[in-house]
Amino acid sequence: MAVKPSPVGRHAAGAQGVQTKRADQVGAAVPGEGSQMASLTQRTLILAFSQTLNFAVQFLSPVFLVRILDQTAYGQYKEFIVYSSLTLSFISFGIKSNLLYFISVNPGNDRKYVTNTVYLLFGFSLIGVVAIYFLRGYIEGLTTYNFVLLLMAYIFFYQNIDLLDTLFLSKKRSDQVLYWSTCNIIVRTALLIYVAYRTRDVLQIVYLLIALEAAKSFFTVLYLLRKKLLGWRVDLPFLKQQLIYILPLGFAALITHLNTNLSKVIISANLGASALAIYAIGSQNIPILNIISQSVTYVIFPEMAQRTRKDPLLALNLWNQSNVLYVFLLVPCFFILLVYADVLINTLFTDTYSAAIPLFRIYLVLLLRRCFEVGAPLRAMNKNKYFVVSNSFSLAVNIVLLYVLYKMIGFYGPAIAFVTAEVALAVFLAFKIVSTYNIAFADLFHWKKIGLITALSVAVMPILLLRYLFDLNPIAAAVIFSSIYVAVYLAILRKLNIDEVDFFMTKILEKFKIPWNGRKVRLSAGTNGVARPAAGSRSE
């Protein structure tokens, strides 16, 4: 049985047709929408808490490791991580993500989808191990020490049967994601720091990582067998559906990871492990970015996949609302981190890594780019072929700029090249969303709300710059002025009556019995493109 989302109908000619349909459905109630949105919010908050806890614990790794290991040893550790990430990008192929889509649109066949996914993961793991073996001479020529055999073992166990978090998300069980991922990251981080402290030996750390991944694979197999989710036979008709979905996303993911890690490979090969250590700190994943973007996207994607079967614009409206939240949450974080980047780097990683501060500020631009999550609408429509083209385009931009800028300005050139390529990728996919959903570019985002929130973030930014007028301890200044900045930002937002913000803040604060602004907002799944206030509240 083929599983296909409904095609996007031409609701009317061009943008006016979309506006007409939206106008027709303003005020149209969707049964159960209030409880549905509340459920989405609750699952997002649980997942956000899980991500926050995970990243808080995970962030301890580099904070402790830069103090335990010398710069060269830490660079060698990051070298292993970079090459393992790059290798995984070639073999992971985004295989497990198919569960998010297929279990959402075709419930009742969990066992077949899970079994096929396990065999796919196992097969691609073997392919990766064999590829590394035949490329071992080339890899040894690029790295500062020989870890090829260890890399093969790590890749095999890391890739194999790593699907529980995705399985839980596909079943809308954010609570189980919380328990599973938190347990994983706490055990991994605690043992990593312990072994590093006791041995100061990079190879011993790598041995630990391999052992942990092997244990996780063994546990996952036992869990799937107990839940009767793992069979012995591959279901070929279902496998065909999965491969059609997976392969375009897989090639796109491969190119994305190559794009992400290319600059680190160039730095490692040309400047050595010490330079890579500094670059790794400067390009450190900003936890708030992943906490917010992953929490929202993972929760809304199954909902979007279901809604596209009824009306694609239902899914697009849900996505539009999430982008307003991204801007609300991420833009002020960008300005805080931009102003206090030196305090963050020097405090967490010591002034030994102060050379990473300009690099960190360059990578901060990604925080603004990720306010616009342009992948979910196309994946919900199963338009995965666009990701291969767009990521190839982004990689080409990155390679050209990396070569030019590395020659011109050296160490910081690859970072500028990567950030520029990411922006180019977002623009490309944005135009593909416009053509796929048959809407005008003006209808792509809630531009007025996004502009209003961004303007407010900029307007109150001088509060952050007060650090230069007062002779305070850097950490104290960062805490005091950032807190004032956020307080003023939220106080003004309360008066602006932005529905998505009001709904989100009300849901969070009501847990603590704290009022937000008294508005009762119900977000609609209708295709009117705006959130609909409840009767009696002021509209925007």
Q: What is the pLDDT of residue 304?
A: 54
Type of residue numbered 455: A
Q: Contact 483/356 with Cβ under 8 angstroms?
A: no
> HSE on the CB side for 145, CA within 13 Å?
17
Angle between helices 474-496 and 312-339 (to 10 degrees): 150
- SS3 state of residue 438: coil
Residues 229/110, Cβ–Cβ less than 8 Å: yes
Identify the bridge partners of residue 521 per DSSP, sorted by sequence position. Answer: 533
- The reported pLDDT for the residue numbered 23 is 36
Do the beta carbons of residue 22 and residue 15 sit within 8 Å?
Answer: no
The pTM (predicted TM-score) of the whole model is 0.65
| Residue pair 526/19 in contact by the 8 Å Cβ criterion | no
CA–CA dist 255, 517 (Å, integer): 45
Beta bridge partners of 522: 532
DSSP, res 163: -
State the CB neighbour count (10 A cutoff) for residue 84: 19
| Cα 394 to Cα 388: distance, rounded to the nearest angstrom | 10
Asked if 360 contacts 284 with a C-beta cutoff of 8 angstroms, the reply is: yes
Per-residue pLDDT of the chain (540 residues; tens, 9 = 90+): 343 343 334 333 333 343 434 333 333 334 444 444 445 555 555 555 555 555 655 567 788 888 888 888 888 888 888 888 777 777 777 777 777 777 777 777 878 888 888 888 888 888 888 888 888 888 877 777 788 889 898 888 876 677 777 777 777 776 677 777 778 888 888 898 899 999 988 899 999 999 998 898 888 888 888 888 888 888 888 888 888 877 777 777 778 777 777 888 788 778 887 888 888 888 876 655 555 555 555 555 555 555 556 677 777 777 888 888 889 988 999 999 999 999 999 998 888 888 899 999 999 998 888 888 888 788 777 787 788 888 889 989 999 999 999 889 888 899 999 999 999 999 999 999 998 888 888 888 899 999 999 999 999 999 999 999 988 999 999 999 999 999 999 999 988 888 888 877 887 777 777 777 666 655 554 444 433 333 333 333
Contact 369, 428 (CB under 8 A): no
d(CA 131, CA 135): 6
Angle at 533 between CA 528 and CA 534, to 5 degrees: 125
- The type of residue at 302 is P
Give the per-residue pLDDT at 7. Answer: 37
- Structural contact between residues 368 and 330, judged by C-beta atoms closer than 8 angstroms: yes
In sequence order, the β-bridge partners of residue 533 are 521
Please provide residue 8's backbone torsions phi and psi, each rounded to the nearest 5 degrees: -75, 120
Q: Classify burial at 183, counting beta carbons within 10 Å of its beta carbon; exposed 0-12, middle 13-18, buried 19 or more.
A: exposed
- Using a 10 angstrom Cβ sphere, with 0-12 exposed, 13-18 middle and 19 or more buried, the burial of residue 166 is buried
Distance CA 76, CA 71 (A): 9
CA–CA dist 526, 23 (Å, integer)? 10
Report the distance separating Cα 265 and Cα 538, nearest Å. Answer: 54
Cβ atoms within 10 Å of 362's Cβ, excluding its own: 17
114/108 Cα distance (integer angstroms): 12
In Å, what is the CA distance from 236 to each residue of 53, 109, 119, 241?
40, 13, 12, 9
By the 8 A CB rule, do 321 and 507 touch?
Answer: no
